Amino acid sequence: MALIRVDVESEALELSTSMTVLLPERPAADPPPVLYLLHGLTDDHTAWTRFTSIERYAADRGLAVIMPQVHRSFYANEAYGMRFWDYLSVEVPATVARFFRVSARREDTFVAGLSMGGYGAIKWALREPERFAAAATLSGALDLAYIQEHDRRPHIRALASRVFADRIVAGGDEDLMHLVRVADPDRLPRLILRCGSEDHLLAQNRRFTAACATAGVPLDAELSPGGHTWDYWDSQIPGVLDRLLARARTRS
């Protein structure tokens, strides 16, 4: 694999920012499938390559991986900050298409993430279902409306105030439970959920699983022993990659 750091000027953010890219080195007749892999609240675009073996896992599967940086934004356009949703959903794919030879087909395009990134991955898939074949969340912070209303920790209150100010998450396009309720299941990508049974976000993952069941949205959900740790995510990501790529492999 080639590991590339990309430094780009973002119009949406009005500053320079970075992403980490993994590209297969073996020549192939067709461009490789591509995974947008999103980081968590306390991480950056290097975290997946530093704390897991994602480079080796991607190489084994001939998969390109794009890891953008969004700081502590919840992949949203911040009320008092920058337009990270616009950066993620518009500028990052455009940058990838401009500089790298990867597949542009929906059936070869995937998104996944952990914790805050799990939220971002599912939000992106629900808001732009035509873009992805499948999406996965690992230990996702999936109930942002609950966090905004009930989490009283000072640093979380300050974060929610900066990102959302007086915008109410519940019932809007930042609320995954709402997005599932109003979605057309036939238009959605395949959704995959993994969470550890000792994870502090377990209840949120169970609520999202229940919301999908109520809405008739298929969800490949598995809970297994583990916490909110890199050991858990490194153990889970190879299987998640196989689930994401399953139908693409069938067609190839």
Model pLDDT for residues 14-31, shown as the tens digit of each residue: 999 999 999 998 767 799
Homologous superfamily of 2-251: Alpha/Beta hydrolase fold, catalytic domain (3.40.50.1820)
pLDDT at 8 over 90: yes
Q: Which whole number is the average pLDDT over 148-174?
A: 90
Domain boundaries, the chain: 2-251
Across 79-83, 154-158, 183-187, 219-223, least confident range? 154-158
pLDDT at 166 over 50: yes
Q: What is the pLDDT of residue 252?
A: 41
Q: What is the pLDDT of residue 251?
A: 46
- Half-sphere exposure of residue 68, counting CA atoms within 13 Å on the CB side? 31
> Rounded to whole angstroms, how far apart are CA atoms 186 and 11?
34
Average pLDDT of the chain? 95
Q: Is residue 49 very low, low, confident or very high in pLDDT (cuts 50, 70, 90)?
A: very high
Q: Which whole number is the average pLDDT over 97-117?
A: 97
pLDDT at 248 over 80: no
Q: Which whole number is the average pLDDT over 44-69?
A: 98
Q: Which whole number is the average pLDDT over 145-166?
A: 89
> Rounded to whole angstroms, how far apart are CA atoms 111 and 133?
9
Q: Which whole number is the average pLDDT over 132-149?
A: 96
Q: Which whole number is the average pLDDT over 222-243?
A: 98
Q: What is the pLDDT of residue 115?
A: 98
pLDDT at 216 over 60: yes
What percentage of the chain has pLDDT greater than the value 90? 88
Q: What is the pLDDT of residue 241?
A: 98
Q: Which whole number is the average pLDDT over 54-74?
A: 97
Cα separations in angstroms, 59 against 14, 26, 29, 85, 152:
34, 9, 16, 29, 42
**Residue 168 φ then ψ, to 5°:** -90, 125
pLDDT at 250 over 70: no
Q: Which whole number is the average pLDDT over 100-128?
A: 97
Q: What is the pLDDT of residue 155?
A: 87
pLDDT at 217 over 90: yes
The pTM for the full model equals 0.96
pLDDT at 230 over 60: yes
pLDDT at 178 over 80: yes
* Cβ atoms of residues 119 and 74 within 8 Å: yes
Cα separations in angstroms, 69 against 81, 82, 84, 143, 151:
15, 12, 9, 22, 25
